[in-house]
Copies of this chain bind each other. A is one copy, B any other.
Amino acid sequence: MALVVQKYGGTSVGDVNRIRNVAKRVLDTKNQGHEVVVVVSAMAGETDKLIRLAQQVTPHPDEREMDVLLSTGEQVSIALLSIALKTMGVDSKSYLGFQIKIATDSAFGKARITGIESEKVMNDLKRGRVVVVAGFQGVDDLDNITTLGRGGSDTTAVAIAAALKADSCEIYTDVDGVYTTDPNICSKARKLNKISYDEMLEMASLGSKVLQIRSVEFAKKYDVPIHVRSSFNENPGTIVCKEDKDMERVVVSGVTYNKNEARIEIMRVPDVPGIAAKIFKPIADANIVVDMIVQTSSTEMGCADMAFTVPKTDFAKTLQIVKETIKEFGGKEVKSNEDIAKVSIVGVGMRSHSNVATQMFTALAKEGINIQMISTSEIKISCIIDSKYTELAVRALHDAFELDKPSVTEEQ
């Protein structure tokens, strides 16, 4: 007998029939002798509908009240799923964030979970009940309702699995698992059997939308293995887990891309200490998240060029801020480009394999793709290229690292 946490996303509970299917899956797991806690999202489209309703009132609704509004979506789902389970003869009970004290900080719209009282849930499980928990929501110290941000139900599931010391945490979604790259642009994309937390974090933050990034951080912190799989078939999915030795033998696990950034370059910045802080402080003050930063020494004496990327939605604002800033120290010129894409390769094996960067640059060069910026971490390399080459670049890299072939580990 195992304790299993299962999370079903919005498409999996998108209508009453699908909710019934989820109930059947839960019943099957129960019949296999397991204890089951189910975490559900709002029915597909509901959250967007609620946002539209609020925006009919005002384009900038109050954040506390938005969380009161949005948390109703999951509340509807847990009630309907619990009703469906009871109709099938499964004793079940639904819980909202406040009822099992999913404690969070007070950052409305993007709250972080700080604790969960597991006692009620454990008692229900002992009595043979299936426990159905509303994803995405919690309460702060003052009993205000909070939400965890888009995809927050993943984090709820992982946090509950951690609190209950569950044997497994299954995230059901509308794809079969984590792929080597986006199957929509590369037909050779292959489902991975296993991926490490760190790789998944890089994949998630680089644009792969399978899991909310915070849920992976949480899983890593408490070492909760996540099984990402489809709710529409019985295929095994991808296990996101702690890195093992076998994983290091695989140099590159995946290729990702992101078209939502824009690039700003400040030419001939005085190359003196403190200059970077001067440039980026006003940007940070405006709550704009800078992604890549590259500084190069310029040909002119005592000067450097400074390039960085920001989300496209913050591009205009950032450009305005930068133009103000450079007046101060006489930066001469600002260049910018919105038509860029970031392509990246990710893999824990990079740590122990040299030459990976060269292989990447060669693969792109072969296709005549110019690299505008490069940024690296221990387990990833990212290149900024012209956005029109995105798909070409992804396919070229997928081929170059032979990601279509099962890795040594997976063949075993």
Task: Using CB atoms, name the residue of chain B closest to A62.
Answer: B86
What copy number does this chain have within its complex?
2
B residues near A111, Cβ cutoff 8 Å: none
Contact with B along A137-148 (1 / 0, CB 8 A): 000000111000
Contact with B along A60-87 (1 / 0, CB 8 A): 0110111011011001101110111011
B82 touches A65 (CB 8 A): yes
Output the least CB separation between A147 and chain B (Å): 12
Output the least CB separation between A389 and chain B (Å): 44
Task: Using CB atoms, name the residue of chain B closest to A70.
Answer: B79
Cα distance A111–B322 in the bound complex, in angstroms: 60
B65 touches A69 (CB 8 A): no
Cα distance A109–B98 in the bound complex, in angstroms: 21
B residues near A56, Cβ cutoff 8 Å: 16
A54 touches B72 (CB 8 A): no
Chain A interface residue bracket vs B:
35 or more
Output the least CB separation between A68 and chain B (Å): 4
B residues near A93, Cβ cutoff 8 Å: 64
B residues near A50, Cβ cutoff 8 Å: 76
B80 touches A54 (CB 8 A): yes
Given the contacts A53-B16, A62-B83, A75 and B76 also touching, CB distance less than 8 Å: no
Cα distance A20–B54 in the bound complex, in angstroms: 12
Given the contacts A87-B58, A98-B98, A145-B96, A53 and B65 also touching, CB distance less than 8 Å: no
B residues near A16, Cβ cutoff 8 Å: 53, 56-57
B residues near A80, Cβ cutoff 8 Å: 53-54, 57, 65, 69
Additional pairs, 4, CB under 8 Å, beyond known A68-B75, A69-B76, A72-B72? A61-B87, A65-B80, A68-B94, A99-B144
